[in-house]
Amino acid sequence: MSLARRFILKLSCPDRVGIVATVSNFIASNNGWITEANHHADALSGRFFMRLEILADSLPFDIETLRERFAPIADDFGMTWHISDSARKKRVVVMVSRQEHCLYDLLARWHADELNIEIPCVISNHETFRGLVEWHGIPFHYVPVKPESKADSYAKVMEIFDENGGDVMVLARYMQIIPPQMCEKYPGQIINIHHSFLPSFVGAKPYHQAHARGVKLIGATCHFVTSELDQGPIIEQDVIRIDHSDQPEDLVRYGKDIEKAVLARGLRYHLEDRVITHDNKTVVFR
Amino acid sequence: MSLARRFILKLSCPDRVGIVATVSNFIASNNGWITEANHHADALSGRFFMRLEILADSLPFDIETLRERFAPIADDFGMTWHISDSARKKRVVVMVSRQEHCLYDLLARWHADELNIEIPCVISNHETFRGLVEWHGIPFHYVPVKPESKADSYAKVMEIFDENGGDVMVLARYMQIIPPQMCEKYPGQIINIHHSFLPSFVGAKPYHQAHARGVKLIGATCHFVTSELDQGPIIEQDVIRIDHSDQPEDLVRYGKDIEKAVLARGLRYHLEDRVITHDNKTVVFR
Amino acid sequence: MSLARRFILKLSCPDRVGIVATVSNFIASNNGWITEANHHADALSGRFFMRLEILADSLPFDIETLRERFAPIADDFGMTWHISDSARKKRVVVMVSRQEHCLYDLLARWHADELNIEIPCVISNHETFRGLVEWHGIPFHYVPVKPESKADSYAKVMEIFDENGGDVMVLARYMQIIPPQMCEKYPGQIINIHHSFLPSFVGAKPYHQAHARGVKLIGATCHFVTSELDQGPIIEQDVIRIDHSDQPEDLVRYGKDIEKAVLARGLRYHLEDRVITHDNKTVVFR
Amino acid sequence: MSLARRFILKLSCPDRVGIVATVSNFIASNNGWITEANHHADALSGRFFMRLEILADSLPFDIETLRERFAPIADDFGMTWHISDSARKKRVVVMVSRQEHCLYDLLARWHADELNIEIPCVISNHETFRGLVEWHGIPFHYVPVKPESKADSYAKVMEIFDENGGDVMVLARYMQIIPPQMCEKYPGQIINIHHSFLPSFVGAKPYHQAHARGVKLIGATCHFVTSELDQGPIIEQDVIRIDHSDQPEDLVRYGKDIEKAVLARGLRYHLEDRVITHDNKTVVFR
């Protein structure tokens, strides 16, 4: 897509009178053209959330100056804030195991330039997809994960991620539990697709659990990874209808379709800076 | 709807060669015209499920004779079976509290003769809907439920249900926990609508639980009531999308729409003898 | 719901720099507390759309003064604008024929005070629902529509609507074509529920058309009524899955469920001033 | 999936008493074990449809003998019928142009052996995907389509399809109109994914048409290709919600997700012999 370059401002702060006025004045006084704006005032928590897309060329200065001049406003309101530049493609490191559905889906979107990303590399605990990944011109790193040397494996993963300047790590059905210290090193940067409609069926083999309970819909959940397993902030979810004739293997097969769709949507929200987390939940400005 | 009179046979038994052949031979040899047929062979449990709709006028005998002649076949195959007559309207006793959405929905369907039922009475622990119910010509019974006299209250409910020849009891957001002995007296006859996508958020205030967890879809579950709270066989479920801007009260409001829709569908499946339970799960031949 | 009193401002105007800044400054300088804000800049048409909810008690003046003081801003930007007061319940006149599903659904929502409306009367071309409506304490007007005296009938309908101070007229499966002069008298005030997923299957018997074409989903459309039949701006739509076993009568039955749900959602958006029309389309700030 | 080998019988014929009895007797008398059975009696057309899956090893003879012995029964009832063998992978020739989403999706499913198919080759009017396809070990044929030599191009396509023993031709966003003589040569063998919820928005640029009309959902349709453009029997459809903020390019992007999902489901139904066409409609035994 040939969208014009934009700066994206997202912020949250305690709610009070005048936030929108102050921020939009600042933008307007610099002649900034806003193409998209979203606000959310959360009555229960008393917190305010905001996201703006501003045409980069409409401002008389660059992103660094924008940040400098916005900082005093942010301080006044006690904002947690972030400004990104659509011209800088985010660097997404993809982690896979032996299931292909999410990987192919992400590669197709990358090939179509749908997500405005670079994939500096793919990391896997199996060699299965080396050929496919390398055909796309993307480096492939095989990092086996053995019970006796997990710490070394994840040290290696973090090293590769850092060396590649990763912005986001996507667990595309990676099937391994990420150690707490790694979760804490990259807060809000690791995205997982869980194969159940959380909080139902946490843990292993959720489709078998779903079959045993006799539910009539199964789902998938895209969430940030935190040190508490399957408990991170939920970004996106969806479900698909099943019936009595579906065996656990059928649920696995249907599940793949919903997993890759939910991961792609959740990832896009995050990449476009549409997600703000607070209190283990997400505001998603779609 | 002016559908021709049909007999509905539903059965389950251990799977083996020849079940369909034997049953369909029996029907065909009596010149029976089958308008709808469904089978399901469950590979995991080795159990076979079947449902047939047969034009009543195509058979040379009445339903009693049909049952007599079918009994030996059922014995041979070890079937659990049931034959019903579409000309006999099932008697549905509706239990309500102070929320109107499911009650209005059921009354509209009854008024349109959509469900092929009689509602011999409505029972409530509040007087709120006496006028509405009685305007429809349906008797209304006020049975208060106090902590100190619950046993008496449910004895009264069971008495009313029995005196009215109830086939099905529908908990249309009744908001009271049915005592185990009542669940056991009417197995597979009490249908509840639970305001969450089970097994998520069992127990009280599920919409508040859902809001606290930050899920992106909420749901409702229609299930048979058993003595284990919220654990009975699931008949039907559905979900609706929410987002960060929805407060718990919004979830309650959206939830009503999905609750009444799911209850109506689940109830219809049961009334049309489309549901067969086995091993705390349901086969639903839609 | 016991929401605090709010003033709702909705507007549209040609897009340019400074709209949000000017409007939010105006609100903030009067100490107004914004509880909900939505913007949309339509790149294709170059038009800007905005909706604000402001706590009434946070402003130092009443709605009339608010309108007076906002008018010069609106003039500067060439705005089409509207300010409403949540404390003033909108008056919804419901038009029905002989189908009950939408009527019961609206009455249930009215009874639960879910829509924040008054229903000053129901108008019908049949006597069918007089008793039900009057039981709710709502006046019922029987206005038959005969081919030879349609003009008189609609003159009567408009007279009743005006006498009752109607804000919105809802065609709740009214099944009659509204004459052009009536459509033009109440632009953006008449809401219809059409029993197909427009633009598919315009005109009569859409479910039979859908069955004949063999589609796998059927739908319903809530739209504003204009003098061009089934062509007005679409407010809300939804679909439901069907299959080969569903006959036209089944589609009619399923369709009712989707019709009443879509009508209720579309009507709520309109009642809460969430809908802005432009160029025969709608912006819906959900 | 390691499912046991099955023979799949599908048939349709005028409805009458005794069809199921006769067919199931035939299977049972040969000790055949039925794993899945579906029937449909269409009241409007008076036609009966049936599909059986039988464990191959439970029968005392091979598929040829099965066909021979079944033929007299088929003749008696005037059946249109077909018996296939799950052990014989169907040969699916994929036609693509320059959009990747459906191609990647099909390759991922093929790679996971989810569809039980062989892809003997991919044909395209562009060279874009040669490398990707050949990396999978699948031959790639570049057949340009020029206005002045369309007949030659399609002659070449048919030649390739025939030489490769194609069972099914999938137009995976091929974006070219198939000439009538080719449609007629392969009736019920060419499957297309159309990027609208037919019958809405036939012809070119359906997403732009949808945007112009202001619909609130967009969809995709998987259908058999016939000589009448966009009018063939519909196999599967689905929709996705959009809103006013979505520009035509957004609809194109969302549309891709629904297109590939609908194509994959429709294709699977066809490959598993779950689809029977009659009167330009489909019976789909899911």
Please identify among residues 86-115 of chain A the ones whose CB lies closer than 8 Å to any CB of chain C: none
**Does the distance separating the beta carbons of A245 and B234 come in below 8 Å?**
no
Do B78 and B111 lie in one domain? The reply is: no
Do A187 and A46 lie in one domain? The reply is: no
Residue that terminates a domain, selected from D85, D109, D134: D85
What is the number of domains present in chain A?
Answer: 2
**Inter-CA distances, B167 with A192, B112, B138, B263, B271, Å:** 48, 20, 16, 17, 9
How far, in Å, CA of B99 to CA of B129, rounded?
A: 9
Q: Are B210 and B232 in contact (CB under 8 A)?
A: no
- Search chain B and give the residue with CA nearest A199: B200
How far, in Å, CA of C48 to CA of C79, rounded?
A: 9
Residue C1 falls within a domain, yes or no?
Answer: no
Residue D238 falls within a domain, yes or no?
Answer: yes
Do A72 and A185 lie in one domain? The reply is: no
pLDDT tens per residue across span A258-270: 999 999 999 999 9
Helix (H, G, I), strand (E, B) or coil at C271: helix
Which whole number is the average pLDDT over A111-128? 97
Do B30 and B100 lie in one domain? The reply is: no
Q: Are C35 and A43 in contact (CB under 8 A)?
A: yes
Which candidate from C40, C201, C281 shows the least CB-CB separation from D214?
A: C281
Predicted local confidence at residue C204, as pLDDT: 86
How far, in Å, CA of D153 to CA of D144, rounded?
A: 7
Q: Tokens 């076979």 — which residue? A: B48
Q: Which of C237, C243, C245, C265 to mutate to test the interface with D (most CBs of D within 10 A)?
A: C245
pLDDT tens per residue across span A227-259: 998 999 999 999 999 999 999 999 999 999 999
- The DSSP secondary structure of D129-143, one letter per residue, reads THHHHHHTT--EEE-
Do A178 and A258 lie in one domain? The reply is: yes
How far, in Å, CA of D73 to CA of D23, rounded?
A: 8
Residue that terminates a domain, selected from A85, A116, A132: A85
Structure tokens at A258: 């919903």
Q: Is B27 exposed, middle or buried (0-12, 13-18, 19+ CB in 10 A)?
A: buried
**Does the distance separating the beta carbons of A17 and C21 come in below 8 Å?**
no
Residues pairing with C40 in the sheet = C49
Helical packing angle, C248-271 and C101-111, nearest 10°: 30
> In the annotation, is B162 catalytic?
no
Residues of C in Cβ contact (< 8 Å) with D219 = 217
What is the end-to-end Cα distance of chain D in Å, rounded? 18
**Does the distance separating the beta carbons of A216 and B234 come in below 8 Å?**
yes
H-helix or E-strand containing D234?
A: strand D234-241
**Does the distance separating the beta carbons of B245 and C36 come in below 8 Å?**
yes
Residue D277 falls within a domain, yes or no?
Answer: yes
Q: Which of A202, A179, A198 is nearest to A190 (CA)?
A: A179
Which candidate from D198, D214, D280 shows the least CB-CB separation from C234?
A: D214
Tens digit of pLDDT at every position of chain D (286 positions) = 457 999 999 999 999 999 999 999 999 999 999 999 999 999 899 999 999 999 999 999 999 999 999 999 999 999 999 999 999 999 999 999 999 999 999 999 999 999 999 999 999 999 999 999 999 999 999 999 999 999 999 999 999 999 999 999 999 999 999 999 999 999 999 999 999 999 999 888 999 999 999 999 999 999 999 999 899 999 999 999 999 999 999 999 999 999 999 999 999 999 999 999 999 999 999 8
Q: What is the CATH number of the domain that holds C201?
A: 3.40.50.170
E strand residue ranges, chain C: 6-14, 34-42, 47-55, 80-85, 90-96, 117-118, 122-124, 140-142, 168-171, 190-194, 217-224, 234-241, 275-278, 281-284
Maximum pairwise Cα distance, chain D: 63
How far, in Å, CA of B90 to CA of B166, rounded?
A: 8
In angstroms, what separates the C-alpha of D167 from chain B's closest C-alpha? 29
**Does the distance separating the beta carbons of C29 and A21 come in below 8 Å?**
yes
Predicted local confidence at residue B3, as pLDDT: 77
Q: Are D224 and D249 in contact (CB under 8 A)?
A: no
What is the end-to-end Cα distance of chain A in Å, rounded? 18
Do B268 and B130 lie in one domain? The reply is: yes
Which candidate from A200, A244, A247 shows the least CB-CB separation from B282?
A: A244
Cβ neighbours, 10 Å, residue C142 = 13
Residue that terminates a domain, selected from D85, D105, D136: D85
Do D114 and D217 lie in one domain? The reply is: yes
Do A98 and A80 lie in one domain? The reply is: no
How far, in Å, CA of C140 to CA of D2, rounded?
A: 66
Q: Which of C215, C231, C277 to mutate to test the interface with D (most CBs of D within 10 A)?
A: C215
Task: Please identify which of the residues A230, A243, A246, A257 carries the catalytic annotation.
Answer: A230
Dihedral over alpha carbons C99, C263, D254, D174 (to 10 degrees): 30
Please tell me what DSSP assigns to residue D280. T
Residue D1 falls within a domain, yes or no?
Answer: no
Helix (H, G, I), strand (E, B) or coil at A13: strand
CA geometry: angle at C92 spanning C88 and C94, to 5°? 165
Do B64 and B113 lie in one domain? The reply is: no
Do C78 and C143 lie in one domain? The reply is: no
Is the alpha carbon torsion for B237, B240, B242, B247 positive or negative?
A: negative
Q: Which domain holds residue D37?
A: 6-85
Residue A1 falls within a domain, yes or no?
Answer: no
- Search chain C and give the residue with CA nearest D45: C247
How far, in Å, CA of A166 to CA of A169, rounded?
A: 7
Residues of A in Cβ contact (< 8 Å) with D108 = 100-101, 103-105
How far, in Å, CA of C263 to CA of C250, rounded?
A: 20
Structure tokens at C133: 């409506």
Tens digit of pLDDT at every position of chain B (286 positions) = 457 999 999 999 999 999 999 999 999 999 999 999 999 999 899 999 999 999 999 999 999 999 999 999 999 999 999 999 999 999 999 999 999 999 999 999 999 999 999 999 999 999 999 999 999 999 999 999 999 999 999 999 999 999 999 999 999 999 999 999 999 999 999 999 999 999 999 888 999 999 999 999 999 999 999 999 899 999 999 999 999 999 999 999 999 999 999 999 999 999 999 999 999 999 999 8
Q: What is the CATH number of the domain that holds C32?
A: 3.30.70.260
Q: Are C55 and C35 in contact (CB under 8 A)?
A: yes
What ipTM was predicted for this assembly?
0.94
**Does the distance separating the beta carbons of B104 and C104 come in below 8 Å?**
yes
**Does the distance separating the beta carbons of B18 and D20 come in below 8 Å?**
no
Q: Are D78 and D152 in contact (CB under 8 A)?
A: no
Do A120 and A205 lie in one domain? The reply is: yes
Whether the predicted pLDDT of C2 surpasses 90:
no
Does any CB of chain C come closer than 8 Å to the CB of residue D146? no
Which whole number is the average pLDDT over A183-209? 94
Residue C178 falls within a domain, yes or no?
Answer: yes
Is the alpha carbon torsion for D191, D195, D198, D202 positive or negative?
A: negative
Predicted local confidence at residue D1, as pLDDT: 43
How far, in Å, CA of C229 to CA of C202, rounded?
A: 8
Q: Of how many residues is chain D composed? A: 286
Helical packing angle, A19-29 and C19-29, nearest 10°: 140
Is the peptide bond between A199 and the residue preceding it cis, with omega within 30 degrees of 0?
A: yes
Does any CB of chain D come closer than 8 Å to the CB of residue B76? no
Helix (H, G, I), strand (E, B) or coil at A199: coil
pLDDT tens per residue across span A132-160: 999 999 999 999 999 999 999 999 999 99
Helix (H, G, I), strand (E, B) or coil at D279: coil
Q: Could you tell me which residues come within 8 angstroms of residue C100 by beta carbon, excluding any fewer than 6 positions away?
A: B108, B111, B112, C128, C129, C132
**Average pLDDT of chain C to the nearest whole number:** 96
Cβ neighbours, 10 Å, residue C148 = 6
E strand residue ranges, chain B: 6-14, 34-42, 47-55, 80-85, 90-96, 117-118, 122-124, 140-142, 168-171, 190-194, 217-224, 234-241, 275-278, 281-284
Whether the predicted pLDDT of C1 surpasses 50:
no
Do B33 and B114 lie in one domain? The reply is: no
B217-224 and B234-241: which strand pairing?
Answer: antiparallel
Whether the predicted pLDDT of C253 surpasses 70:
yes
B234-241 and B275-278: which strand pairing?
Answer: unpaired
Q: Which of A51, A245, A274 to mutate to test the interface with B (most CBs of B within 10 A)?
A: A245
Does any CB of chain D come closer than 8 Å to the CB of residue A198? no
Q: Tokens 């989707």 — which residue? A: C258
- Search chain D and give the residue with CA nearest A98: D112
